[in-house]
Amino acid sequence: MPRIVLHKELFDYDSELRREYPVICGVDEAGRGPLAGDVYAAAVILRDGLLIDYLNDSKKISEKRREELFDVIRDNAEAYCVATASVEEIDSMNILNATMLAMSRAVEGLGIKPDLALIDGNRLPQLDCPCRYVIKGDATSASISAASVLAKVSRDRYMKELAEKYPQYAFEQHKGYGTKLHYEKLNEFGISDVHRKSFLKKLYDQE
């Protein structure tokens, strides 16, 4: 019986591109929208022929499944790198530029120069290799899907670490996003040094 792999079309997309670009890198980010914490990006190079069950857009996968895939991707990738841009960088250069910076750092940290970098979204970071953006790339390319999982899990773990340092904000529950609970905590405790001041200008000005 032939093996049935969920979402095999993601791997077929990459395999087709490898005919022209043998080494493909997928790049995705996590944490553009939250009010607190660094923005994360990951870059992943998968070997041709590798199939990973359940790999998909990280937002469509349960947290438990993402944690499992995190280890599978790291164990089987040709190369990977997770990088960040800090809260201070976000506030000084805006979230878009900080996200592009994190993506550039992730690709630079691979140790292998890709023939082509596939970037999720509709903007391109400055890279020392050919690149193209793929809208909804995390649901199109296996390489981008793998990067989305590494970025998402890495950032969620980071937010849980922040929750231990700043327990009053309940970061482990909302991961820094602008939920009702998060705003209630901000109103009660004010803005911390891990909050993005540029995202909270009205509150920051009041303080």
Stretches in the chain below the pLDDT threshold 50:
1
Q: Per DSSP, what are the bridge partners of residue 116? A: 24
pLDDT recorded at residue 203: 65
CA distances to 15, 24, 113 from 44, rounded to whole Å, are: 15, 8, 11
Q: Using CA atoms, how far apart are residues 171 and 185, in angstroms rounded to an integer?
A: 10
Q: What is the pTM of this model?
A: 0.93
pLDDT recorded at residue 201: 82
pLDDT recorded at residue 1: 43
Quickly tell me which residue has 């993601």 as its tokens: 10
CB atoms within 10 A of CB 173: 13
Domain limits, the chain: 8-206
pLDDT recorded at residue 56: 86
The answer to whether residues 151 and 33 touch, using CB atoms and an 8 Å cutoff, is no
pLDDT recorded at residue 82: 98
* The CATH number fitting domain 8-206, selected from 3.10.20.30, 3.30.420.10, 3.30.590.20, 3.30.460.10: 3.30.420.10
Nearest CA-CA partner of 171 in 28, 29, 31: 31
CB contact set of 28 (below 8 Å; sequence gap of 6+): 41, 42, 58, 119, 120, 137, 138, 144, 145, 147, 148, 151
